[in-house]
Structure 1
Amino acid sequence: MAPVIPGFDYRRVPVADGVSLNVAVAGSGSPVVLLHGFPQTHLMWRHVAADLAADHTVICPDLRGYGASDKPAENIDAGSDPDAAPAAYAKRTMAADIVALARALGHERFALAGHDRGALVAFRAGLDHPATITHLACLDVLPTLDMWDVLHGTTAAVGFHLFLMAQPPGLPERMIAACPDDFFGHFLDLWAGDPRAIPAEVRTAYLDACRAAVPSIVADYRASAGVDVDHDRADRDGGRRLTMPLTVIQQDWGAALGYDAAALWRAWADDLEHLTVGYGHFMAEEAPADIAKALRGLLAR
C-alpha cells in the first residue's frame, strides 16, 4: 500500500469530464492548495502540509496524469485548433482542474503553492484566475517561456529531459518505458541535496507512480514545449501579470546558466519576494520547516 500523509483524509474529486483527482485534505481555516513536482506525487508535501494544517485547510492533490489521479489521453492538436477540446495537459487545463477542485471542496478563493511542474500549474492559475488565487508560491522553477529562453549551449544539457519529452509521441514514451526506474530515479538521485530526505518507502512510491504514468508525464512535458509556450507568450505580449503576492524560492541556477532569476520573475509579478536557497531541488522534503515558514510569511502579506 502506498504511503499517505498521516492525519489527512483521502478522497477522489471530479474536476472535469472524465477526470478525477486523488486528494488529501486536513485542517481548518483559510485554504492552501499544494501542488507537487516531478518525479513526485502529493507526498512531497507531507511535512509542510502537516505543519500548515495546524491553522489552515490544506489540500494536496495529485496533478492530472500523476500519482493516483486520472490520466486522460493526450490530445496534442488541441493547442493549435481553436475548435478542439482544450489540450489535456496544457497548464491552463491543469490549472482549471485545481480551481474546480477547490470549488468542489467549498473554496471560491485560496492560496496556492507549487513545486517544479506544480509551480508551472500554479503560475498559470495565477494568470488565468487572479480573482481566485489570493497568494502564490512557486518553488524551484522558471516560467515556461523564460525556461526555454535561458536553456542554450552546453549548459542546456542539465535539462536534457525537457528536450527528450518535447519530441512527437512515440519515441520518448518507448525510451522511458524501457527503463522507467532508471530514468525517474536518475532525477531523484541527481537533484537531491540530501538523499535522506526521501526515505525508501517514499522513493518506491514515487517510482511506482511514475512507472504507471509514462505517457501522461511525457504529455505534460510535451505541452510545455508547445501550447504552454503559446499561452505564456500571449500573456507576456499582452502585458498580463501576476497581481497577488508571490513568493519564489529557488536554487541559484542563474549563476550557472547565466541569468538573473529574480529579474525574470519580476517581469511577471507586481508583488514579488524572491528567495535563493542552498537546498537541493526537493526543498519541501529537505528543509520543510524553512519552506513552511516562507509560506506562512507569504500568507501574512
Structure 2
Amino acid sequence: MNGFTTERVPAADGVHLNVAHGGHGTPVVLLHGFPQTHLMWRHVAADLAGDHHVICPDLRGYGGSDKPRVTGEETYGKRAMAADVVAVAGHLGVDRFALVGHDRGALVAVRGALDHPETVTHLATLDVLPTLDMWDILHGADAAVAWHLYLMAQPPGLPEQMITRSADEFFGHFLDAWVRHPGAIPADVRAEYLRASREAVPSIVADYRASAGVDLRHDRADRDRGRTLRMPVTAVQQSWGDRLGFDGAALWRRWATDLEHVTLDAGHFMPEEAPAEIIAVIRSLLGR
C-alpha cells in the first residue's frame, strides 16, 4: 500500500506475519477477511494514517504471513491468531490499540478483545456475528448460504483436495457473489487475492475448521461464565431488511453493553465498496 512500510514481524509461537503499517497517532489495527489480504484496507488505511498509526497484518495462514503446519485445532484457532496480533503490535511498540476486523478478521478481533481487554481499547466488527451465534442461527434451508462453512468444517483431506483442484473458481465465487459493486475490487487486486488464496488452501481450511471446533468451545465457555466485551463496540452489517432472518443488534448486545449497531447499503466487502462510510464508522467509534 502506498505510503506504508511492509515487513515481516514476529508474532506468537514463532510465527511471522506480513504487516503493512504507517501513519502517526493513536494506533488502529485492521484485520482482513476471506478470501483477501491486508490490501482490502487500502482506501480506509490511507485515510486513517493521516492521524493514526495504522497496522494492517495478513492473518496467520493468509497472504504473505507464515502458514504453520497444523499440529492441532488450536494452530488456527482465533485465540492463537489474536495472540499474533497482540504480539505484532507489541513488536511495533504498541501496547494498546483499537481493533477493526472484517469477516474472518472480525472473529479474530472479537477473540482478541475478549482475551486481551487491557490491550484492545475499541472494537469494530464488519459483517459477521460471533462464532457461537453464527452457528446457532444457521438452520435448515437457510443455512445453504453458508455452505462453505460446512465444507471446510469436515475432517482434513477432502475439503483441501476439492478446493485445491478448483481454487480460482472456489475463491472467485465469493469475490463475485458477495460484492454488490464489482468495480470495487479491480482486476489486479482480485488477481492478487486469488493468487494468495490459491497458495494458502490448507491454512484457510484450517481457519474455518477451527470455527466449528475450538473457537466454538471458547465462545461457549465465555457465554457460560458471562464474559463480555468491556470496550466500546461497533458492529456493522449489510442492510438485508426482512431477509436478515435474525436481530443482529440483539445478538451483539449479549456480548457488548456499549454497542452501536450500524447497517450499510453495501455488499459484504464493505471497506472496498463503501470506504467513506467505513472510515466514518471507525472514526465515530474512536471518538467514544
| TM-score for the superposition, normalised by structure 1 | 0.94
Tell me the equivalent position of 2:217.
Answer: 230
Are 1:93 and 2:80 matched, yes or no? yes
Are 1:122 and 2:95 matched, yes or no? no
Tell me the equivalent position of 2:54.
Answer: 58
Paired AA for residue 34 in structure 2: F
Question: Within 5 Å, which residues of 2 pair with 1:135-146?
Answer: 135-146=122-133
Aligned-pair CA distance for 1:286: 0.4
Paired AA for residue 41 in structure 1: T
| Cα separation, 1, equivalents of 2:242 and 2:78 | 28
Q: Where do 5+ consecutive residues of structure 1 fail to align?
A: 79-86
Q: Secondary structure at the match of 2:76?
A: coil
Q: Secondary structure at the match of 1:24?
A: strand
Q: Where do 5+ consecutive residues of structure 2 fail to align?
A: none
Are 1:176 and 2:163 matched, yes or no? yes
Tell me the equivalent position of 2:90.
Answer: 103
Do the aligned partners of 1:37 and 1:115 also contact (CA within 8 Å) in 2?
Answer: yes
Q: Secondary structure at the match of 1:130?
A: coil
Paired AA for residue 47 in structure 1: H
Q: Answer with 157-166 or 256-265: which moved more.
A: 256-265
Aligned-pair CA distance for 1:188: 0.2
Question: Within 5 Å, which residues of 2 pair with 1:199-210?
Answer: 199-210=186-197
Paired AA for residue 35 in structure 1: L
| Cα separation, 1, equivalents of 2:222 and 2:171 | 32
> CA offsets per residue over residues 221-280 of structure 1, 9 Å max, x none?
000000000000000010000010001110135732521010000000020000011100
Q: Secondary structure at the match of 2:11?
A: strand
Tell me the equivalent position of 1:68.
Answer: 64
| Cα separation, 2, equivalents of 1:253 and 1:227 | 30
Do the aligned partners of 1:254 and 1:260 also contact (CA within 8 Å) in 2?
Answer: no
Paired AA for residue 75 in structure 2: A
**What is the RMSD computed on CA atoms of the aligned residues?**
0.9
Tell me the equivalent position of 1:213.
Answer: 200
Q: Secondary structure at the match of 2:249?
A: helix
Q: Secondary structure at the match of 1:16?
A: coil
| Cα separation, 2, equivalents of 1:261 and 1:253 | 11
Q: Secondary structure at the match of 1:294?
A: helix
Tell me the equivalent position of 1:81.
Answer: none
Tell me the equivalent position of 1:152.
Answer: 139
Aligned-pair CA distance for 1:17: 3.0
| Cα separation, 1, equivalents of 2:241 and 2:222 | 23
Sequence identity (%): 70
Paired AA for residue 82 in structure 2: A
Are 1:20 and 2:2 matched, yes or no? no
